[in-house]
Every structure is written in C-alpha cells, then in structure tokens.
Amino acid sequence: MVQDSYIKNDYVAIIASADDVESVEELVEMVKGGQRPAHSGLYRFELESDTPELVTLVGRGYFFENDWSSDHTVSWIGPESEVRDAQA
C-alpha cells in the first residue's frame, strides 16, 4: 500500500495596491507586524502539495476571484509561517 506523501500546508496570499506599498518586502513586514495596507486583500488556504507553482496558481486564483489585477499591485504568496501574525 502506498502512503499519502503529500503534506498539508497553510499558505497566505497577500495583495495590495502599489499606491500603498513600494515592495514585496515592505508588504511582508507590514503583515508580520499585524498591519495591512488600506487597499489590500489577504487570503488563507490549505494545500496538500509542496509544488511551488501550484501554490502560486492557487494564490493568484484568490486574487482574481476577488477582483484584483496584477497591474499596479504588489503581492506575496507563501507559507503562513513566514507571516505568522497575519490577520484575515
């Protein structure tokens, strides 16, 4: 019998207007500090995969589903553990 080799991980997809933040680093630091830009979205999701491309596709799906565009925005998608204090 083959055991399930996927690991369930918690991820966060964060997006903000480029008018509010200048870089990905600034966005991540704000979220780590418990703050969010005025015009931003934060989406948590679980994924049973460790494939970075799949994580990115799911995160972008949340952005587009919530009417965000890649134009004039700053975004970050990654493990929730990297921004542990993230508030949805």
Structure confidence at residue 3 (pLDDT): 47
Boundaries of domain holding 26 = 8-83
Structure confidence at residue 88 (pLDDT): 53
65 burial type by CB count under 10 A (0-12 exposed, 13-18 middle, 19+ buried)? exposed
Tell whether 1 is covered by a domain. Answer: no
pLDDT tens digits along 4-53: 555 668 999 999 999 999 999 999 999 999 999 999 999 999 998 878 99
How many domains, in total, are found in the chain? 1
pLDDT tens digits along 48-70: 887 899 999 999 999 999 999 99
Tell whether 2 is covered by a domain. Answer: no
Tell whether 63 is covered by a domain. Answer: yes
Structure confidence at residue 50 (pLDDT): 74
DSSP 19-76: TT-S-HHHHHHHHHTT---SSEEEEEEEEE---HHHHHHHHHHHHHHTT--STTEEEE
Tell whether 61 is covered by a domain. Answer: yes
pTM summary value: 0.85
Tell whether 60 is covered by a domain. Answer: yes
